[in-house]
Amino acid sequence: MKNTIEILRAGVYSSIQDLRRVGFKKYGIPKSGPMDEYSHILTNWLLDKDIYSETIEITYYGPKIKINFEGNIGIFGSKCDTQLNNKKIKTGVSIKVKSGDILDIKKCIDGNRAYIGFSGCMKLKKVFKSLSTYEKIQIGGLSGKKLNKNDTISFKNIKSPKIKRIPSSFIKRYDQNNYIRIIKGIHFNRVQNEKTLFDNDFNISANSDRMGLRLINNTIELKNHDEIESTVVNKGTIQIPRDGNPIILMSDSQSTGGYPILGNICNVDISRITQIKPNKSIKFKMITLIESNKILEYERKKFKSKLNIDLSA
C-alpha cells in the first residue's frame, strides 16, 4: 500500500514513541516516550524533524519492515546488525529508500535499544497529545499496543531531506564507563551504610522494563521503613522498596510513589543507563544538584552549537 510501512517481523519489543506527552501526570498518565531520549532526538535530527517527533523504539532485537514510499530513514542508538535489501548499512546516518525496500534490524550489539525514524509523519490518532505507546492502559501507537507482525502504518508529508551524519563526538559506547552520577534524594538520610551504596557495584536485572530498571546484588539497608506520603516521582528517580533492591523509574512509571527516594539519576546519564545491558554492573557516584545542572547546560550548549538543536525549549 502506498505511503505505508508494513511490519514483516515485529522484533522483541518495538513501539511507537515521541516526546509530546507533557502535562498529564496530574491525571496519573505517565509521559511514556523513548527510554533513550538522547538517541531518539538524534534520530529525528538525521531527518530534519523536531525532537518531539515519533520514532519506533526497538528493544534487544529489531523488526523487519517493508517501506512503501520514497524518502529517508534514520537509525541511531545501540549498534545493530542492520540491512537494507540484504545489504549491510550503517546507523547514525540518514539513508535514502525507495518503495519496496526491506529494512531488517536484528540484534542490538552494545546496548538495548535503537530508534528508527522516517522522513514523514505517521497518520495515527494522538492520545493526550501524543503517539507514545503506553500498553498498560492501551493508549497511543497502534491501538495502544507494541508493534506486531502484519501491522501497517500510514504516513503523510513524506520528504527527502539532504543526507546527514551524526558527528563522532555524539556517538556513545555503552559497554565502557559504568559510573552513573546521582543527586541525593529526600530520603537519603535513611541509608544505613553509605559505603555499600558507593563502593559496591549493582547489576541491572533482566527483570527490568519500561516501567523501571531493577538493580540487584547490592542490597541497600535503611535505618527505618516507616511509611512515607505518596511523593511525586520522575524518570530517573531511585526508589528503595522493602527488599532493599533499588528501582530506577523509567518512561512508563507511575506519577507518584510510596517508597523512600534514595536519589535521582543525573539527567544526562538517564539515557545512558537505559542502554546498559541486563546483568552488567554499574556504580553510583554522588554529585550535587549544581554539578548536575552544569553538566546539563554543557550538553545543551553542545547540541545547540554543533547541531542547532534547542534542548531547553
Same structural domain, 161 and 12: yes
- Classify residue 283: in a domain, yes or no: yes
Residue type, 232: V
pLDDT of residue 224: 81
Q: Is residue 113 within 8 Å of residue 76, measured between CB atoms?
A: no
Same structural domain, 140 and 214: no
pLDDT of residue 1: 84
Residues (pLDDT < 50) of the chain are none
pLDDT of residue 313: 66
- Classify residue 313: in a domain, yes or no: no
Distance in angstroms between the alpha carbons of the first and the last residue of the chain: 37
Residues 70, 61: Cα–Cα separation, whole Å: 25
Residues 202, 296: Cα–Cα separation, whole Å: 25
Helix %, strand %, coil % of the chain (to 5)? 15, 35, 50
The total of structural domains in the chain comes to: 2
pLDDT of residue 300: 97
Q: How many residues does the chain have?
A: 313
- Classify residue 296: in a domain, yes or no: yes
Can you give the CATH number for the domain in which 232 is found? 2.40.100.10
Does the CA dihedral 114-38-252-250 come out positive or negative? positive
Same structural domain, 9 and 104: yes
Last residue of a domain, one of 170, 192, 225: 170
Residue 193: strand, helix, or coil: coil
Q: How far is CA 124 from each of CA 19, 34, 55, 121, 142, rounded to the nearest angstrom?
A: 15, 17, 13, 9, 7
Last residue of a domain, one of 170, 188, 206: 170
Same structural domain, 47 and 142: yes
Same structural domain, 110 and 38: yes
Same structural domain, 13 and 127: yes
Q: Is residue 293 within 8 Å of residue 300, measured between CB atoms?
A: no
- Classify residue 45: in a domain, yes or no: yes
Same structural domain, 40 and 62: yes
pLDDT of residue 75: 98
Same structural domain, 50 and 76: yes
Last residue of a domain, one of 170, 197, 223: 170
Same structural domain, 139 and 48: yes
Residues spanned by the domain of 183: 179-307
Residue 181 phi, psi dihedral angles, 5° rounding: -85, 135
Residue 28: which region, alpha, beta or left (left: phi > 0; alpha: psi -120 to 50)? left
- The whole-angstrom distance between residue 195's C-alpha and the CA centroid of its chain comes to 30
- Classify residue 8: in a domain, yes or no: yes
pLDDT of residue 312: 84
pLDDT tens digit sequence for 226-280:
777 788 899 999 999 999 999 999 999 988 888 999 999 999 999 999 999 999 9
Residues 112, 118: Cα–Cα separation, whole Å: 21
